[in-house]
Amino acid sequence: MDFGLVLQTDPPASAVVELMQRAERQGFTHGWTFDSAVLWQEPFVIYSRILEHTQRLVVGPMVTNPGTRTWEVTASTFATLNDMYGQRTVCGIGRGDSAMRVAGRKPNTLARLGEAIDTIRDLAEGREAEVDGQPLRIPWVKDGKLPIWMAAYGPKALALAGQKADGFILQLADPYLTEWMVKAVRTAAADAGRDPASITVCVAAPAYVGDDLAHAREQCRWFGGMVGNHVADLVSRYGEHSDVIPEALTAYIRERHGYDYSHHGRAGNPSTDFVPDEIVDRFCLLGPAEAHIEKLRVLRELGVDQFAVYNMHDAKEATIDAYGELVIPALNG
């Protein structure tokens, strides 16, 4: 199993680079960041520094979207990083939550997202693609390679991931929901004539190693609020009691009342007081290292190829080190 580290690009950027270096030393293979231009610093600038100061780490956004950058700019940026540092990028992409809503825009449609996946991949790998009716090709790209992993929760998005994406990003670590969603993605892949096993599965969630479970929950409760934004969209589309979405995903947002993006993805987020302990425990990895190892083994059996640690809490270095010294060796030793 691979391991990734997910950070927000809060200033100073040097601290983000240092944490990514630490993660690589501890056996992490991927370095991910949020991508929301108003809330945090520009990630692609920082990726260049991360790549320069690491040897093997693969970097990318978790996740970008088709709306805040034109598709040829996104493709050219990835292709440039790959040309400078080797094939060490991955494009995580979704409809857009904070990046779009903070700027007063709605998340992209799935149709637009599907078109963007094909176009960005083709351009970044040196093939011709059409952007706004204009055929384009980036002439300097030679032997380009850009895997595109799509974030999804709902049935139509899961189907799109199976049809088009190289990888599937699931932003929660509940085994029941993981099994249900991985099955949906792989079924869609098979129906589209693709090899279901070729799709990389990445589960991303907060991890907090320690014996003080109450404190760990408070440090990670924000994650239930972040997931709740996407769940609220699903409930508005399909209803709370739908036969296409598990109630294990939707029931907890009944007490949700709005969301303030100024606290997005941060410990102590006041917009997440509706998130119960049970959801924090299900969606995150908490407790001593042994508890993390046990849950990760279950996820691995369900087909998860990578676990990406959301590291937005008061024990960033300690979590990276605990994973490097205890958890990663137990899964890969």
Structure-block tokens of residue 82: 């790959």
Instruction: Please give the model's pTM, rounded to 2 decimal places.
Output: 0.94
H-helix or E-strand containing 58? Answer: strand 58-61
DSSP output for 11-43: SPHHHHHHHHHHHHHTT--EEEE---TTTS--H
Residues 246/179, Cβ–Cβ less than 8 Å: no
Residues 108/96, Cβ–Cβ less than 8 Å: yes
Phi/psi at 199 (nearest 5 deg)? -90, 120
- pLDDT value of residue 25: 98
Per-residue pLDDT of the chain (333 residues; tens, 9 = 90+): 999 999 999 999 999 999 999 999 999 999 999 999 888 999 999 999 999 999 999 999 999 999 999 999 999 999 999 999 999 999 999 998 778 787 888 888 999 999 999 999 999 999 999 999 999 999 999 999 999 999 999 999 999 999 999 999 999 999 999 999 999 999 999 999 999 999 999 999 999 999 999 999 999 999 998 888 888 888 888 877 777 888 889 888 887 877 777 778 788 888 888 999 999 999 999 999 999 999 999 999 999 999 999 999 999 999 999 999 999 999 998
Distance between terminal CA atoms of the chain? 10
Report in angstroms the alpha-carbon separations of 179 from 30, 77, 107, 201: 23, 34, 26, 11
Picking from 118, 53, 124, 114, the residue whose alpha carbon sits closest to that of residue 90 is 124
